[in-house]
Amino acid sequence: MEFLKNPFLVRPFIILGIVLGLDKLLLLQAVREYTTSYMHIEDHFYDTREDLLNHLKEHYTARKAAGEKLGLIFGTSRSGEFDSAEISKIAPKTYTYNFSAPQAGHSYHAYWLQRILEQNIRPDFVLLESDPITLSPNANRFPIKHSLDISFLLKHIDFDSDASPWRNGGGFSTEHFERFLLSRMFAAYRFPVDLRAAARNRESHIMPVGPGIQMVTGLEIRRAMLAQMKEASIRNLGGIPNPHALELPENLMNRDAETMASLHLPRPYHTGRAQTRLFREMLEGLARESIPTVVFWPPVVSRFREIMRETGAQDMARSGTTEIIERLGKDYPKAKLRFVEADSKGMQCRIFFDSIHIAGKCYPELTKLLLKEIQSDL
């Protein structure tokens, strides 16, 4: 037994233990304020979804007894502005929880839908954002790092790489599984250290506060945004509605569209096997339960749409989605699935914050447009 005769053989494990212990300091909020930039707070959205589920569990029974109908929204940051109050104006006696999160693909949506259903909570309608971005493999990055759990991943492992994810195949790969383990084992992987963050977070920035402007540090902005996020979980049931009509200048919009495309659309375009399978399974579950559901493509600027067309992303995602919905319609005659491409519905409000995010001011119109599809079922 060499380990007893030569105790130094244990040293690699002791060193690993020490390093892992120090690594866990990065999980502390007080440390993260200095190691991550104030601009990168996406992960906090993921943290707040747990509070949102608890809130839903707490109020579901009472609101159901009061005859109110539950709506759920699953999407990315492009669905974050949907507002429960705005929805209830169009569909009275409803309340809607918004489970959207930045860069969240269908793996994340399916995960939260599963967790909600496990609580015996049955939604009365669902708005599901889906387009080439949410179907792309890149949309798995954040959910794997900041959400999901091991049993969910194991349940959806991709065993048959030849089977089509649109029909009966797809799922998480061993690489996804490894990324999941890495993010759970190493805080440095989940919250990468940005050495410039400490200085940047202390710099002052001009921010609109109330009627005027004020100089505030990055750290103060971060804290304010986190507080707003927490509050939104309770007050706005997960949504962060805003009336802003900020628009990116025309000359920058096209360049932004190229940047967004390079970030979100792999070339040559292909949908992620996990995203596609979970999208399909979500729709199947919703069809089986006859839950009115609107699958919608959010509006994007024309240059981005052009890129989607040129790369084949548009056709691939559209034909796949249409095919699934038609098939499920035949398999489940009581299914209430609708597919809406917002850009083809002639929206009047066309103010874009960037090439893929429509401004907060346009959401009332978008909400109306989507709910119209299922209003008769509510």
Partner 1 sequence: MRFTTLYFLFFFALVYVVFWIIPRRFRPYLIFVASLGFYAAWSWQFAVHLLLVLLVNYLALIRLLGRPRRSTLALIVLLNVVNLVFFKYFYFILGTASQAVGVIGPERLDAWLEHNLGVSHIVLPLAISFYTFQLIALQVDAYRGKIPERPSIIEYLMFSLYFPHFVAGPIMRHSDFFYQLRNLKPDETRMLDGLLLVGAGLVKKVVIADNVDFVLKPVFANPGGYDWSTNLMAALGFAARIYCDFSGYTDIARGSSKMLGLDIPENFKAPFLSASVGEFWNRWHVTLMMWLRDYVYIPLGGSRRSPARNYANLILTMALSGLWHGASFTFLLWGLWNGVFVSIEKLLGVRTEFEPGFIRDGFVSSVARLAFRFGGMVYAYLVFALGLILFNSQSLQSAMNMYGQIFFLRSGAEWPHTEYVFNIVAITLLFNIVQSRKQFHIPVGWKSYPVLGALGLVVLLLLGSFPPGTTDFIYFQF
Residues engaged in binding partner 1 (CB under 8 A): 1-3, 6, 8-9, 11-16, 18-19, 22-23, 174-175, 178, 181-182, 185-194
Question: Containing H/E element for 306?
Answer: helix 302-310
- Of the two residues 46 and 125, which places its CB atom closer to partner 1 in the complex? 46
Tell me the C-alpha distance between 275 and 71, whole Å.
22
**Residue 30 to residues 26, 33, 187, 188, 222: CA-CA distances in angstroms?**
9, 6, 14, 15, 12
Buried b (16+ CB within 10 A) or exposed e, 52-85: bbeebeebbeebeeeebbbbbbbbbbbbbbbbbe
Residue 359 CA from chain centroid, whole number? 18
- Of the two residues 194 and 220, which places its CB atom closer to partner 1 in the complex? 194
- Of the two residues 38 and 97, which places its CB atom closer to partner 1 in the complex? 38
Residue 1 CA from chain centroid, whole number? 52
Total residue length of the chain: 378
- Of the two residues 149 and 258, which places its CB atom closer to partner 1 in the complex? 258
Residue 32 C-beta: closest distance to partner 1, Å: 13
Residue 21 C-beta: closest distance to partner 1, Å: 10
Residue 6 C-beta: closest distance to partner 1, Å: 5
Q: At 69, give phi and psi (nearest 5°).
A: -100, 140
* Cβ within 8 Å of residue 121, ≥6 positions away: 56, 57, 60, 70
Residue 307 C-beta: closest distance to partner 1, Å: 16
- Of the two residues 92 and 192, which places its CB atom closer to partner 1 in the complex? 192
What are the tokens at 305? 């749409």
- Of the two residues 182 and 325, which places its CB atom closer to partner 1 in the complex? 182
Instruction: State the pairing for strand pair 94-98/69-74.
Output: parallel
**Residue 371's CB: how many other CB atoms inside 10 A?**
22
- Of the two residues 121 and 193, which places its CB atom closer to partner 1 in the complex? 193
Q: Which of 240, 279, 245 is nearest to 134 (CA)?
A: 279
- Of the two residues 74 and 180, which places its CB atom closer to partner 1 in the complex? 180
Residue 184 C-beta: closest distance to partner 1, Å: 10
Residue 261 C-beta: closest distance to partner 1, Å: 13
What are the tokens at 126? 């669902």
The CA-based dihedral angle spanning residues 221, 227, 231, 233, taken in that order and rounded to the nearest 10 degrees: 90
Residue 311 C-beta: closest distance to partner 1, Å: 15
Q: What is the 8-class DSSP label of residue 13?
A: H
Residue 178 C-beta: closest distance to partner 1, Å: 5
Instruction: State the pairing for strand pair 293-297/337-341.
Output: parallel
Residue 194 C-beta: closest distance to partner 1, Å: 7
- Of the two residues 168 and 259, which places its CB atom closer to partner 1 in the complex? 259
